[in-house]
Amino acid sequence: MLDLQALGRCLVTGAGGYLGRNLVAALARGGVPVRAFDRRIDVALPDAVDVQIGDVRDDEAVSRACVGIDTVFHCAAIIDTRTRAPERERAFVRDVNVGGTQRVLEAARAAGATRLVLTSSVNVVVDRAYAGADESVPYASLPPLDLYTESKAAAEKLVLEASSEGFFTTALRPGGIYGPGEPTHFPRVVREILRGLYVVRVGGGHGKADNVYIDDLVDAHLRAALALGPDGRANGRAYFISDGAPMSYFDFFAPTAVALGKKPPTIGFPAWPLRVAAAGAEWLSFVGVHPFLTRMELFKLVHDHWFSIAAAERDLGWRPRFGPTEGMAECEPWVRELAATMPRVRRPHWGWWLAILPGLALTFALAFSPTAYAAFTAHVPLFPRSVVIGIALAALAAHVGEAAFAFTKAKRAGLPTAAGWGLQTLALGYPSLRLLLRELDERQRASAERAGGEPPSEDSA
């Protein structure tokens, strides 16, 4: 049991986030006076916590938050892994991650605080592959750098350079943070599993990454703060924090797939098509569409980026208590609850996708590209091109009509996934529409049974 009283009165910025709220709760349990600071705090915090709403871009709000504080845990940050984005959005990320850190440093020193722990990230050095490297590796510099890597590296430099007599600082570099209630990665993975998209190992799925369970990360923050002081071993240093068991993302989330009744992916898929897609997706930022995948996310999927935690074990007296097996076991009940509440669009068997999408692509190429038609018919006898054009237009009309019908039916039934059903039916046509009608029929039956009435007949739509 750690004696946290030496930390005095604590401030946690970003207290509405996943790490922040867990850190606040741990400090409160330890009997430490704690102040929670964030733009928005939508979660319940212990009654004894002093909650202040404010923005790290606001000098006055940050100064008020630091009054009377002895130890600062600076967790507030924006995670944005785009390498391309409009300048307004780039400036916002810099102002929060770099400018916000500078404001917190200045206000903490002015208020007489003596300790500051920054939540940094492994991203600050990830511009190339690493396997077991230590903290001596350089900051990321190889282009293209994403907004998060660039801004967090700048923020970490500010914090470590600020360590001095009477004001001691350190930075922790966690890998992927996970645990029950994690609001970003788990929902995304669960959604992909339920949609049937978790089916291939991109780039062979060999790239290994670090992860850390939330309780271990909170413990590392507390120990890092206690390791600061006139003779502190953590003064002015950064530390990698993980469970010490690097794994590929596909292996790491395999237990989640199994918990949801799905098979983990075993088939490899080349990374280059996704590189093209990710590069294109980032350009969509300029028309207001957030990319489904960024180049940094893809890089981390296919390349090793795991690091030694020996320095944290030596200087902080910290060791992870949760490995992947134990951590995922803790997450499983919550994952099931998450999946049960997540709206989904049922996916037809993958065979339909392989049959219909390439078939449509070929039909439209032959119909509207004279070159493609000439090259194809040079080897394979085919209808006159006018007939192919007619078939293509009929297929287009059928798919558009079925998509409109699917969207309307789903919308009238109150399904939050109406748009998803419409888009899937636009691509696949009847196989998708059939699944929707089956789902609506099942809902109608379940509603009738709950009401004590007779279920509809098999012919009901």
Q: What whole-number distance in Å separates Cα of residue 433 and Cα of residue 348? A: 10
- The answer to whether the beta carbons of residues 216 and 222 sit under 8 Å apart is no
Structure tokens given for 374: 């000439």
Whether omega before 144 lies within 30 degrees of 0, making that bond cis, reads yes
**Annotation marks residue 18 as catalytic:** no
Q: Is the dihedral angle over the CA atoms 79, 83, 86, 90 positive or is it negative?
A: positive
Q: What whole-number distance in Å separates Cα of residue 69 and Cα of residue 303? A: 41
How far is it between the farthest Cα atoms of the chain?
A: 86
Q: Among 18, 130, 148, 213, which one carries the catalytic annotation?
A: 148
- CA-closest candidate to residue 344, choices 409, 406, 436, 458: 436
- CA-closest candidate to residue 72, choices 24, 135, 137: 24
Residue with tokens 């510099």: 141
User: Which residues are known to be catalytic?
Assistant: 148
